[in-house]
Amino acid sequence: MVVVSSLFVLALPLVFQQPVKLTAEQDHKRLMVLLHIDSLRPGADGMNPKAANYQNVDEAKATTYTSLPDPLVFRNGKPVKTARDWAARRKELFEDFDREVYGRAPKQKFKVNWEVTDTKDETVGSYKVVTKTLVGHVDNSSCPAIKVDIRMSLSTPKDATKKVPVVMEFGFGGNFGPRPNPQGGPQPPSWKEQLLAKGWGYAVIVPTSYQADNGGGLTEGIIGLANKGQPRKVDDWGSLRAWAWGASRGLDYLETDKAVDAKKVAIEGLSRYGKATLVTMAYEPRFAIAFVGSSGNGGAKLMRRDFGEKVENLAGSGEYHWMAGNYLKYAGPLTPSDLPVDAHELIALCAPRPVFVSCGSPNVEGTWVDDKGMFLATAYASPVYKLLGKKGLGSMEMPPMETALIAGDLGFRQHSGGHTNGPNWPTFIEFASKYF
């Protein structure tokens, strides 16, 4: 009887089955088996300076690579000389990022039906805004056992006389804005107030509403839905690309909202959502500008650099879900230097659109995000901007703390605070004002 019923379950078409349940450890192990990997090199320890594998914080030991892949050289060694060449080179780069780094998004296009569940007037600081609460219901007819809803809110100035630019933030749900001033005294205006002062609006999308931030969730959410509840193939997308997919669907909604100038929508996020921001900007040409905050490894930091967080951390069971399964290979037997691409090429894929790269002070934020690694990747993306008739970062020298490099179409600023985008909002807004 048992045998019969389990056979029956096996015979059920995938669409009627419940998602496979695996823990992150089980799924991580499963990928290692698929990739024929026996063991992975451990990541760095970011906390305990006494640990044998404590993160490298010595600049003299950070450059473990002898060369970086050149975005302006085709795989066959031929140079990329024109904008037309670049269009072809982009395809090569996307193929490498898809297969080895962030994974491939599914071919199937999932329809999202956006519902405005609430509209209310609010006062933010001294500004009157209209805030809409939105839910994007993802068509799950291909696998009804998996329900996916994208949560987002949109706030625009109540008295606006025309469509307004909007900054979409990947929201943590908590307040990652400026911290209370330790000296007391007046608080700086929040990022929302700063945007409203320009007459702009903001949207906050909740990435974990449509893709969990852990490996155990990969058979659910939009990744699970696309796979009908089955575990990922080695080149399937990870959470970063899934989060980017949701931002694109959020932008689909903004294109239909009469309050929004959808040609002027920015994407912004911090840390893991800083990574998601850069991935979104590279893959979604409709976003006009990006504010990439403290994104570190897997984001704007050169993956080949050994400083702070390592590729081996991203390949471990706590973070691998952000990436494609194939990425594990670069933590054993391969090395980060074997990666066909690196972060400067992800930034280059955003060209010619403007990108602002932000970080805090190593003394406050810590060294984990690798401030210099993010600066260098931004600088090395510059030749692609120049080829397309734009201005790159304009410097190969890391500027002093709190010195903004925003004269070109790539921007960089290191603020003196911690793991937050807070102190860099005024600089980002100044940078964005060149375009909006």
Residues found near ligand GCU in the complex (CB under 6 A):
271-272, 296-297, 309, 313, 368
Report in angstroms how near the CB of residue 294 gets to ligand GCU at its nearest.
Answer: 7
Report in angstroms how near the CB of residue 275 gets to ligand GCU at its nearest.
Answer: 6
Instruction: Give, in order, the Cα–Cα distances in Å from 207 to each of 150, 238, 301.
Output: 8, 13, 22
Report in angstroms how near the CB of residue 272 gets to ligand GCU at its nearest.
Answer: 3
Report in angstroms how near the CB of residue 314 gets to ligand GCU at its nearest.
Answer: 7
Report in angstroms how near the CB of residue 264 gets to ligand GCU at its nearest.
Answer: 27
- Gyration radius of the chain over CA positions: 22
CA distance 394 to 118: 45
Complex with ligand GCU: residue 314 or 384, whichever CB lies closer: 314
Complex with ligand GCU: residue 146 or 374, whichever CB lies closer: 374
Cβ partners under 8 Å of residue 230, min gap 6? 14, 20, 219
For 213, counting Cβ atoms within 10 Å of its Cβ (0-12 exposed, 13-18 middle, 19+ buried), the class is middle
Complex with ligand GCU: residue 157 or 299, whichever CB lies closer: 299
Instruction: Give, in order, the Cα–Cα distances in Å from 373 to each of 304, 334, 395, 397.
Output: 9, 21, 14, 12
Any bridge partners for residue 122, and if so which? 129
Report in angstroms how near the CB of residue 179 gets to ligand GCU at its nearest.
Answer: 15
Complex with ligand GCU: residue 318 or 332, whichever CB lies closer: 318
Complex with ligand GCU: residue 189 or 269, whichever CB lies closer: 269
DSSP state of 238: -
What is the DSSP code string of 305-352? --SSS-HHHHTSTTTGGGS-GGGGGGGTTS-GGG-S--HHHHHHTTTT
Residues in the chain: 436
**Lookup result for tokens 């997919």:** 245
Complex with ligand GCU: residue 215 or 408, whichever CB lies closer: 215
Any bridge partners for residue 133, and if so which? 118, 153
Report in angstroms how near the CB of residue 11 gets to ligand GCU at its nearest.
Answer: 42
Report in angstroms how near the CB of residue 189 gets to ligand GCU at its nearest.
Answer: 24
3-state secondary structure of 168: strand
φ, ψ for residue 412, nearest 5 deg: -150, 140
Complex with ligand GCU: residue 296 or 411, whichever CB lies closer: 296
Report in angstroms how near the CB of residue 309 gets to ligand GCU at its nearest.
Answer: 5
CA 33 to chain CA centroid, Å, is: 28
Complex with ligand GCU: residue 280 or 313, whichever CB lies closer: 313
Biggest alpha carbon–alpha carbon distance for the chain: 73
Quick one: which of 192, 209, 51, 61 has its CA closest to 128? Answer: 192
Complex with ligand GCU: residue 368 or 375, whichever CB lies closer: 368
Report in angstroms how near the CB of residue 276 gets to ligand GCU at its nearest.
Answer: 10
Complex with ligand GCU: residue 202 or 368, whichever CB lies closer: 368
Report in angstroms how near the CB of residue 274 gets to ligand GCU at its nearest.
Answer: 7
Q: Which amino acid makes up residue 435?
A: Y
Instruction: Count CB-CB contacts under 10 A for residue 109.
Output: 8
- Classify the C-alpha dihedral 377-380-383-384 as positive or negative: negative
Complex with ligand GCU: residue 246 or 296, whichever CB lies closer: 296
Cβ-contact 369, 309 below 8 angstroms: yes
